[in-house]
Structure formats: C-alpha cells, structure tokens
Structure 1
Amino acid sequence: MKAMTVEQYGSNGEFVQANVPKPEVTAGHILVHIAAASVNPVDTKIHANGADLPFAPELPAVLGMDFAGTVEAVGDGVTDFMVGDEVYGCAGGLGDLQGTLAEYINADIRLVAKKPANLSMREAAALPLVSITAYEGLTRAGTTAGQKVLVHGGSGGVGHIALQLAKAWGAEVYASAGSQEKLDLIRNLGATPINYKTESVSDYVDAHTNGKGFDVVFDSVGSDNIATSLEAATLNGQIATTVSTVEVDLSQAHIKGLSLHVVFMLIPMIHNVGREAHAIILQEIAKLAESGKLKPVLDENRYSLSDAGKAHKRLLSGEGKGKVVIDIA
C-alpha cells in the first residue's frame, strides 16, 4: 500500500512516499481502508522531536493518528463491526501503532466507532483526537447545564469542539480568541466571544459573571495562560487544561479552592490501558453530530497523501482556520 514515511525526526525529516506492506487484520481489530486523515499538533511534535519522545514510532515511521474510512475485514472476536461499515477513530501514529498517513490501518476496535452518518469522511476524520480531549476535560471538570464555562482558545481544534460540547450539555459558554475572524467563528458556533487582546481577565470576569468567576475553565492554550485560567475561575471552580508542561504558581488555586484537571488523551493508546473509554466517547460524539449539535470546522485547503508535508506546515503556520485534513483515498 501507499504510505508517507519519515526516515528521521527533526527539521531534516522529510515525508517520503513509499510502498509498505498492507497490514493484516488481527483479533480484536478491523482493517480499515482510510479515506481521510487529519493533522494534530501532537503529530507535528512527534515529527519534529520524535527522537526525544518515548512514545514516538520507530523509524522509518508512518505518522498520523486520526482517520475515517471503510471496514474491509474484521478480526476474530469482533462483533460490533462488519465489512462495509464507515468508521472513525484515533488509533495510530504512536509506539508500535502504524499511523494513518497510509491507505490502510489495522485498528484496535477499542479506539474506533461508527462514523457519524451525516458527516463526510473528511469531517469525521477531523474529530477523534480533539473530541476525545474536549470530552474528557469537560467531564472531568463536572460540566453541567446552567454553569458558566470559559473556553480558552475557542477557535482552535480542541477549543471549537469543547465550546460546542459545553453548549450541547446546557452550559452558558464563553470563549477567547485574538482576531476578529476567530471571534466571529466562536460567535457562529454559539458561544459569547472574548477578545483576550483587548479585555483583561478582570474585565470579562466582571462583565460576564458579576465578578464571581467561571464555574469551569477549559484551557487549550497552556503555558502562561494557566495562570489566566486560575484568575478567571470562581471559588471552588474547576479547570481542565490540555497543555500543562509548564511551571506555574498555584497560590490562587489554593486560595480559591480550585480543582485542576490535566488531560492527556494519548495515555490509553501509549499504555494500552482503558482504551474502551475512547470508543464510548466517539459513540457519544457521533450521536451529538447526528443531532446537529456538533460539527467540525475544516481548513479551506485540501491536501492529498503526497502533500502530507504541506499539511503539517499549514498547521504549524497558525494561518489555518479549523482542522487540517488530508485526503487519502
């Protein structure tokens, strides 16, 4: 089968099209003919720094985690899928899991669900990693109807899904961004936009919560923004962050009695622990998508398998709006 491989990590690790063995279906797995794959920041980090990451695939590597496609064969013990089913998932590109920048993948059924019927393959391929991340963060923070939820990075891959999930669950949702285009996207998705470049934390906390702070803060930005999240949360509030590789003063968390939840959705894939949870979440995401309450935003540019390098550069440029998707078949 055709695949895009990298023979070294780092700035010199170019994507090269190669013919590699087509995987054979194994027990508890399904062989999927991939129609589309999406690019996530973690894919670019592995490409750039794989030599220093213990979960990076051995070289030469096929990268890519998200996919959507059609089941071509089912392995022993598989009863919930059949040949011809359209599926989506986040099931490759880590350790010994072959990535999705290829025509086929032998996917663990614990990491896969049936594709939302109303979404295209491209749209479905954009959802798995960001949806699972957003779902985990919001549920661990105990998000419920009637709460005031603030999503930092509300126009980003994870953020634009998180705000839709929170809204679908009945929360009053606010989201931050720094450009008019991104603020417009947030508004179009049903949340109240906050321009973090022109509004201070105290300004928008006063304006939207009468100075009390937000019940839940979902932070998909990280770094210095974690301190911003602590400031924006209410007493005994909840903070979920997806980017926490940073030193931060937790004094405000102590004074306000905050709970901090760190989300790293790759743990089940890396350690083969609790993978069933991902399939369950993807099933719930499919229901929300089919009910019209959740829809991914895709970058306007289209890329073929041979354009994998260009797709990575597009994501890294920060110029795109929505998920970058690669057409495989």
Structure 2
Amino acid sequence: MKAIAINRYGGPEVVEYVELPDPKVAPDTVLIRVRAVGVNPVDWQVREGYLDALLDVHFPLIMGWDVAGVVERVGAAVTEYQVGDEVMGYVRKDSVQHGTYAELVAAPVRTLARKPASLSWAQAGGLPLAGLTAYQGLVKALAVTTGDTVLIHAAAGGVGGLATQIAVARGARVIGTAGEHNHEYLRSLGAEPVSYGEGLVERVRTMAPGGVDAAFVLVGGGEALAASRELVKDPTRIASIVDVDVLAFGGHAVFVRPDAEDLAALGELADSGRLTVTVASTFPLAQAVSAQLLIAEGRTRGKIVLLAD
C-alpha cells in the first residue's frame, strides 16, 4: 500500500510517500480501505517531535489518527462490522507508528463508529479527532446543558466550530471568540461572536453581565485562560486542550480519547441535522505536506482533509 511516512523527526523534508506492507488484521480490528483522512495540528507536532516526551513513537511512522473509509476485512472476533460497512474513526493506539495517512488502515473496533449518512467522505474523515475533542470537553468535562452560557475561545476553528454546534444542540447559549471575518460564520452556527484580543473580558461582560457558566479554551498563550478565570462563575467549569495550568484552580485538561460511543453520538447529531463539518480544503494523500503546512498557519476555518484515490 501507499502511505505517508517519516523515518525521523523533522520538518516537511522528512515526509515520504512510500510503498509499505499492508497492515496486519488482529482479531479485534478491521481493515479499512481509506477514503478520507482528517489533518490535525497534532500531526505536524508529532512529525516535529514535540510530543516525544508524552508518546511512545516508533519509526517508520505513518502519520495521522483520523479516518473514514470502507471495511475491507474483519478480524476473527469482530461482530460489530462486516465487509462493505462505511466507518469513521479516531485510530489512536497505545503507541504511535501505524497511522491513517495510508491507503489501508487496521483499526481496533473500539476506535470506530459508523459513518453518518448525512456527511460526505471528506466531512466524515475530518470529524473524529476534532469532534471527540469538542464532545468530550463540553459534555464529559464541562457537563454543558440547557440554559448554560458557554464561552468558546477560537470558535471558528476545526474544534471550535464543532464545539459551538454541540453546545447549541445541548440548549446552551454560545459566545464564541473569532476574528471579525469569521463572525458571520459563527452566527450561522448559532453562536454570538465576539472579537478576541485586548478588551475581551469587557466585551463579553457587555453580552453577559453576570459572566458565563463555562469556558472552553482552544487556543494557547495564556490570555484566553486568564480571561476565562475572570468571566466564569465557577473555575472548575473551565476546560482547556492546550494549557494544563487549568488544573491549578480545579479546571479540566482535555486530551481526546478514542471512544466508540462518543463517536456514535457525534454521528447521531450529524444525521439529525444538528452537526455538520465545515471542510476548508482537501488535498490528495500524496500532498500531505501541503496540508500540514496550511494547518500549521493556524488560520483555517473548519477542517483540512486528505482524500485517497
């Protein structure tokens, strides 16, 4: 099979489009013929070696954790899926080596759910990691529910746009930070946009004089976390995907986990019309470097996706 792999940490120059052996299919896995692969900031961060202190990495390393495709083979103990089923998954295993930037992916069933019929292949490929991050932050960590006012920092990004929709679907009022060029987009998702930067606290207090019930921090630098502490009534209802300092005052550090039930819940939201995936750009699998360079700029609205032939 063809795959995007690296043999050492480094910049774009270490990325190769190579022929590798087809994956082995364990008893609790299925072999997926890949149709689409979501590209996430963590992909280039792994490539650069920034997560080496946290994750067991082995070379040659096929990058990527998101996938959508068609089941081609099933392991001997698999009862959940059969050949021909359309699936999506966040295929993060105990060590990092056999990723999803490939024509074929062997995925444990615990990492998969059925592809929502309402989503295209590109949308389904872009949903798992970002969608699970949003869902687990808002639903599991913050317990957002009807009547809550939620502040979402970087609400127009890949995770932010999904988090906004999930919060709205749960009956919450969403105030989302974004550049002015993304304000109309946030309104289309059901959020009330607010510009980030100096004066954010005062602008949010104009919209919510009593403060907000919860905050989801999706951008680093410390400013968003500091603003959240001023605005949230109970600091234990702050969650961050980028800053573990949130733990110092009882908040939640969110690191997305594979979860078949959570992924199925996202699929149900999509098929009910309450969740969609904005795809900013697509690239052929062979052009994964271009996709990673684009996402590293940090200005993308929605998801960047690789499409397999």
The residue number in structure 1 matching 2:150 is 149
The residue number in structure 2 matching 1:91 is 91
Offset, 1:199: 4.2
Offset, 1:168: 0.2
TM (norm. structure 1) is 0.88
Q: Say which SS state the counterpart of residue 186 (structure 1) adopts.
A: helix
The residue number in structure 2 matching 1:269 is none
Deviates more, 1:47-56 or 1:158-167: 47-56
Q: CA 1:248 to 1:27, structure 2 compared with 1: closer, same or farther past 3 Å? A: closer
**Cα root mean square deviation, aligned:** 2.0
The residue number in structure 2 matching 1:171 is 172
Deviates more, 1:312-321 or 1:144-153: 312-321
Offset, 1:229: 1.3
Aligned counterparts of 2:107 and 2:165: Cα–Cα separation in 1: 28
Offset, 1:172: 0.9
Aligned counterparts of 2:51 and 2:269: Cα–Cα separation in 1: 38
Contact kept? 2:32, 2:71, Cα under 8 Å: yes
Offset, 1:146: 0.8
Contact kept? 1:38, 1:66, Cα under 8 Å: yes
Q: CA 1:8 to 1:113, structure 2 compared with 1: closer, same or farther past 3 Å? A: same
Offset, 1:193: 0.2
Aligned counterparts of 1:249 and 1:137: Cα–Cα separation in 2: 14
Offset, 1:44: 1.1
Offset, 1:208: 2.1
Q: Say which SS state the counterpart of residue 49 (structure 2) adopts.
A: helix
- Kindly indicate whether residue 300 of structure 2 is the aligned counterpart of residue 320 of structure 1: yes
Identity of aligned residues (%): 35
- Kindly indicate whether residue 252 of structure 2 is the aligned counterpart of residue 261 of structure 1: yes
Offset, 1:279: 0.3
- Kindly indicate whether residue 115 of structure 2 is the aligned counterpart of residue 124 of structure 1: no
Aligned counterparts of 1:238 and 1:123: Cα–Cα separation in 2: 30
Contact kept? 1:56, 1:93, Cα under 8 Å: no
Offset, 1:6: 1.1
Q: CA 1:27 to 1:216, structure 2 compared with 1: closer, same or farther past 3 Å? A: same
Aligned residues: 307
- Cα displacement string for residues 81-114 of structure 1 (whole angstroms, at most 9, x for unaligned residues): 1110100011047725511110011101001000
- Cα displacement string for residues 263-311 of structure 1 (whole angstroms, at most 9, x for unaligned residues): 0114xxxxxxxx5xx1000100000000110011111x32111101111
Query: Which ranges in structure 1 are unaligned for 5 or more consecutive residues?
Result: 254-258, 267-274
- Kindly indicate whether residue 266 of structure 2 is the aligned counterpart of residue 280 of structure 1: no
Q: Say which SS state the counterpart of residue 61 (structure 1) adopts.
A: strand
Aligned counterparts of 2:99 and 2:27: Cα–Cα separation in 1: 19
2:279 pairs with one of 298, 316, 320: 298
The residue number in structure 2 matching 1:272 is none
Aligned counterparts of 2:220 and 2:131: Cα–Cα separation in 1: 18
Q: Say which SS state the counterpart of residue 37 (structure 2) adopts.
A: strand
Deviates more, 1:69-78 or 1:229-238: 229-238
TM (norm. structure 2) is 0.93
Q: CA 1:96 to 1:222, structure 2 compared with 1: closer, same or farther past 3 Å? A: closer
Tell me the amino acid that sits aligned with residue 143 of structure 2.
G
The residue number in structure 2 matching 1:109 is 109
Correspondence 1:35-54 to 2 at 5 A: 35-49=35-49, 52-54=52-54
Tell me the amino acid that sits aligned with residue 128 of structure 2.
P
Offset, 1:197: 3.3
Offset, 1:13: 4.4
Aligned counterparts of 2:15 and 2:277: Cα–Cα separation in 1: 26
1:213 pairs with one of 208, 211, 214: 211
Q: Say which SS state the counterpart of residue 60 (structure 1) adopts.
A: strand
Contact kept? 1:69, 1:88, Cα under 8 Å: yes
- Cα displacement string for residues 41-93 of structure 1 (whole angstroms, at most 9, x for unaligned residues): 11111011258344153122100010100000111221111110100011047
Q: Say which SS state the counterpart of residue 61 (structure 2) adopts.
A: coil
Contact kept? 2:157, 2:300, Cα under 8 Å: no
Aligned counterparts of 1:328 and 1:94: Cα–Cα separation in 2: 25
Contact kept? 2:239, 2:251, Cα under 8 Å: yes
Tell me the amino acid that sits aligned with residue 122 of structure 2.
R
Aligned counterparts of 2:46 and 2:56: Cα–Cα separation in 1: 6
